[in-house]
Structure 1
Amino acid sequence: MSAVPVSPPEKTSGVMAKIIGVPSAGPLLVLLAFGLIFAITNPRFLATHNLSIILQQTVIIGTLAIGQTLVILTAGIDLAVGAICVLGTIIAGKLVTSGYDPALSMAFSVLVCTAAGFAAGGLISGLRLPPFIVTLGILGILTAALRLISAGGAFPVRDEFLGWTGNTLRLGGFIVTYGVLLMFVLYALVWYLLNETKWGRHVYAIGNSPEAARLVGIPVRRHLLSVYLLAGFIYGIGAWLALGRIPNADPNALQTANLDSITAVVIGGTSLFGGRGGLIGTLIGALIVGVLRNGLTLAGIDPLWQDLVTGILVIVAVALDQLSRRKG
């Protein structure tokens, strides 16, 4: 008897299995599903102006989520994300209003944010303190420091250089800001570090098992320190994007940035237990949050319900990750 040829449906199912096996495939399907639902229920959703607004609204959390992804990949968590970013806006704003050069002021602001990340990484890697406790403590310190530096109130920051990331340009029918483009550049650069360098492979190894990574010769402490250092630098860039988005330095700003950045990372498929995930999923996760809030706003849904739905998504994502690990 002759061999039975493989039927096209089996080939198709094999291709589908490979697609589903991609870590970012699940979040992408969720993003497409939300987009389809909102497009059907509200014709304004797919308008180029509205899609441009979604990208602009995603830029701050999307950027902060890059640093949060790096930290979570090492099985840590950063609760000081928003506070460090706001620190950058306050310092840059104060220096510029005092007459200092805008470029140097922004550079110094990014340096201070990087130093905050270095301090967190030093305590976690050097003293082996839990990331949750360290970043929670830094959050408390910075919350008080921000009110002292700003004298308890917000103030406008009207400088062309600091607000440059909010300038717009037209790409086809879309209007995007330079901040959006800068966010995509950051994603590309950090993606390359994670996926194409030895440093990135070590980050994943530490997230999977710090002890096993140490036994094979990976300098775990030094790598952890570098992760928090890079995350702090990214938060500093996020401060520049925040000033372009809202030309105002407010010590009470970005109060939900910690939760929102963690939400983007977790919904994007990165495991809270470390060692699994990536930046493509995080970008999709940030877009999911942006699309969800925008679509519900167009539908006239109260923001409190939006937070409720977002919280449910986070719990479902973590539950699926836990089930996946048990199955593995």
Structure 2
Amino acid sequence: MAQVQEFEKALSNSDASVAAFDEHGTSIVKRIQHFLHSTPAAVPLIVLVLSIAVFGITIGGRFFSSYTLTLILQQIAIVGILGAAQTLVILTAGIDLSIGVIMVISAVIMGNCAVTYGLPTLLAVVIGLGAGAACGLLNGLLVAYMKLPPFIVTLGTWNIVMATNFIYSANETIRDADVDVQAPLLHLFGLNFKVGTAVLTFGVIAMVVLVMILWYVLNHTAWGRHVYAVGDDPEAAKLSGIQTKKVLISVYT
């Protein structure tokens, strides 16, 4: 009993303060590295800010004019829409190399259905989107059920879809004049309008709306939380009751 009391007495006299790491000796470079590792989203933001600063200094005030900025938005509209879709795949710790060629073959199918086959434009759009969704569904099934690496799956799909596109289109293009006459709705995203001195296209509006919708879905819906959970730890997500296979198929589709 005396030994127990002596132990408690020694423990009560010990220093109960929490050990603190000495950060004063840490160099600025180490602190920056720690910040970048702990906040990955800061890296592209820093690159963007530096790029804007460099171009602003090089070109001058013209770079920050509304016309120039909206012109940049017009040029990145397609890439931005594809990037928004790619973001969902990346959040599940995957990658989709075939997203570009899937977009191309979807556009080719829309054009052929509307111009060559004479189908109604809306039906042609639905068929084209359906073809693209089918390609994405194939990727999702192979990744989710066959447990194949997304890089290998989408690389193979990229080659298959590209070859299919060459065979289907016979390396022929559809003239813009024919599209304007028979299916002008296909050029909807390319139409522009002015807001003051700024020139915007409906494609830019679609990109902004899509990004806002995805932001809301990822941050305020159960499906969005499931996407993050699958990307963080698929086994833990599965044990918690999340249907990981359905989530993977949905993001690739």
Match of 1:83 in 2: 101
1:160 maps to 184
For residues 210 and 122 of structure 1, what CA distance do their matches in structure 2 show? 16
Is the aligned partner of 1:169 residue 2:185?
A: no
Structure 1 CA distance for aligned equivalents of residues 44 and 146 of structure 2 = 36
- Rounded Cα–Cα distance in structure 1 between residues aligned with 2:39 and 2:209: 23
Aligned equivalent of 2:146, options 113, 119, 127: 127
Cα distance between partner residues in 2 of 1:74 and 1:29: 24
Structure 1: runs of 5 or more not aligned? 1-18, 230-328
1:189 equivalent to 2:213? Answer yes
How has the CA–CA distance of structure 1 residues 117 and 50 changed in structure 2, closer, same or farther, with 3 Å as cutoff?
same
Q: Deviations over 1:182-226 (max 9, x none)?
A: 111111111111111111111111111111111111111111111
In the superposition, relative to structure 1, how do residues 130 and 22 fare at CA in structure 2: closer, same or farther (>3 Å)?
closer
Which of 11, 21, 34 lines up with 2:51 in the alignment?
34
- Corresponding residue SS for 2:194: strand
With structure 1 as the length reference, what TM-score do the two structures score? 0.61
Pairwise CA RMSD:
1.9
Counterpart of 2:193 in 1: which secondary structure? strand
Identical aligned residues as a percent: 42
Stretches of structure 2 that go unaligned for 5 or more consecutive residues are: 1-34
**SS of 2:132's equivalent?**
helix
Report the CA distance between 1:24 and its aligned residue: 4.1
Shift of 1:181: 0.3
Q: What CA distance in whole angstroms lies between the structure 1 residues aligned with 2:152 and 2:45?
A: 33
Note the C-alpha offset of 1:147.
0.6
Tell me if 1:216 matches 2:216.
Answer: no
Cα separation, partners in 2 of 1:167 and 1:105, compared to 1, 3 Å: same
TM-score by length of 2: 0.79
Matches within 5 A, 1:30-109: 30-43=47-60, 44-97=62-115, 98-109=117-128
Deviates more, 1:49-58 or 1:77-86: 49-58
Displacement of 1:133 in angstroms is: 1.3
- 1:115-155, CA deviations, whole angstroms, 9 ceiling, x for partnerless residues? 11111101111111111111111111111110111112322
Q: Which structure carries more relative contact order (alpha carbon 8 Å, separation 6+)? A: 1
Q: Could you say what secondary structure the match of 1:45 adopts?
A: helix
Q: Could you say which structure has the larger radius of gyration?
A: 2
Q: Give the aligned length.
A: 212
